[in-house]
Amino acid sequence: MSDKRSIGIYWLRRVTAVIAGCLTAAGICLAFPSTGVSAETSDKTIEVWVNTPYVVQFGFGSYDIGGLTTSSYRIPLSHTINLGTEKDDWRLNLTGYLGYSHVDFKTELFGPRFSAETDYLFVLPQVELAIPIRKGWTVKPYLAAGVGWYCNGSIEFEGKKELTKDSYGFLYAAGIGNLFEFQIQKTHVSFGSKFGWAEEISLDSPGTMGFATLQNGVEIMHPLGIYINGREFNMAESFTYYYFFPAARFSVPNEPPHKVYDQFEFGVNFGFVEPIKVWILENPRIGASYRFGDGMTGFRLNLGFPF
């Protein structure tokens, strides 16, 4: 935890790793550290790495920082197993996250343009146990483990393009969430929190990357009076606060790493008042959200309250 900040409880999953490759100007020299892309000349070095834990938890969306553009696509496939006969009994929530990210970096720090890019694929199965403590209060410990693959990487400098070696990593995450819910007439109000840790262990070279987070959020859901096939639509507005420790770090060319401690997110999503199942998706919802804080912004697809 930073000595500039202290806070009492945190954790969340963020899956990690980085991009790959290395280049030198005036006679190209290649290396492949698991932490990113670096290039050096006789008088300066540029290093580029991606905070993949942040990328993966970010979900479906895109952000840009310091010439580094990351676009991520994450699809959750879920199934719920009721462990009792009553509606409010314990439940086992099984989720498989299938993800793809593309990372692109460009700079003219050396004069001629230097660029690097890579693709990242991952599979992350997760099991979550929903434990009802009392009416409207559910505790949700979770555990996830999977693998990630960096592929199709390349670097280009002064018109010369080189491919980089594929890399693999083992992903894991663990934590616990709380969800408090209550009804005010037709409005459904939810308060959530989540405390967890996520990390990637490189399978090709020594090194790990991971961090803990605390999330706190509120969602207000209400019916819209709009019907399709007899089913009423509702809309939900949400706000979520994220605290990262140690800070989520992002490389900025020729500067110390950019540190992100606090982020805020506003979102809106739409679904049905009465839960339905579409194919293998339990009660699907869809919307959009905007995240900002500590000099970093991004937009992403919002698939519902994250708690």
Distance CA 137, CA 115 (A): 50
Nearest residue to 50 via CA among 30, 34, 28: 34
Q: Are the CB atoms for 201 and 210 separated by under 8 Å?
A: no
Among candidates 138, 241, 245, which has minimal Cα distance to 182?
138
User: What letters, b where the CB count within 10 A reaches 16 and e where it falls short, cover 51-66?
Assistant: bbbbbbbbbbbebebb
Helix count and strand count (H, E) for the chain: 1, 18
Place of tokens 């989520």: 248
Q: Is residue 226 part of a domain?
A: yes
CB 250 within 8 A of CB 260: yes
CA distance 281 to 179: 21
Name the residue with tokens 């939900």: 236
Q: Is the entire prediction scored with pTM above 0.75? A: yes
Domain-embedded: residue 201: yes
- How far apart are the C-alpha atoms of 118 and 36, rounded to whole Å? 10
Asked if residue 284 belongs to a domain, the reply is: yes
Q: Domain residues for 57?
A: 21-302
pLDDT of residue 216: 97
Q: Is the separation of the CB atoms in 127 and 141 below 8 Å?
A: no
At residue 46, the pLDDT reads 57
Residues 187, 218 contacting (CB under 8 angstroms): no
Residue 282 is assigned to a structural domain of this protein: yes
- What's 256's DSSP letter? P
- Local confidence pLDDT in tens for the 307 residues of the chain: 333 333 332 222 222 222 222 222 222 222 223 335 555 544 455 566 667 777 777 888 888 776 778 898 988 888 889 888 877 789 999 998 899 999 888 777 656 677 888 898 999 899 999 999 998 999 999 999 998 888 888 888 777 888 888 888 888 889 999 999 999 998 999 999 999 998 878 777 666 777 889 999 999 999 988 888 778 889 999 999 999 988 887 766 667 777 889 999 999 999 887 777 666 566 678 899 999 988 788 899 888 888 8
- Residues contacting residue 271 through CB under 8 Å, at least 6 positions apart: 233, 234, 236, 283, 284, 285, 286, 304
Q: Is residue 84 part of a domain?
A: yes
* Number of domain units in the chain: 1
Whole-angstrom distance, CA of residue 280 vs CA of residue 70: 28
Rounded distance between C-alpha atoms, residue 296 and residue 288, angstroms: 17
pLDDT for residue 277: 67
Does residue 294 lie in a domain region?
yes
The answer to whether residue 138 is domain-embedded is yes
Judged on CB neighbours under 10 Å (0-12, 13-18, 19+), 183 is exposed
Does residue 8 lie within any of the structural domains? no
Q: What is the CATH number of the domain that holds 266?
A: 2.40.128.130
| Residues paired with residue 116 on neighbouring β-strands, in sequence order | 105, 155
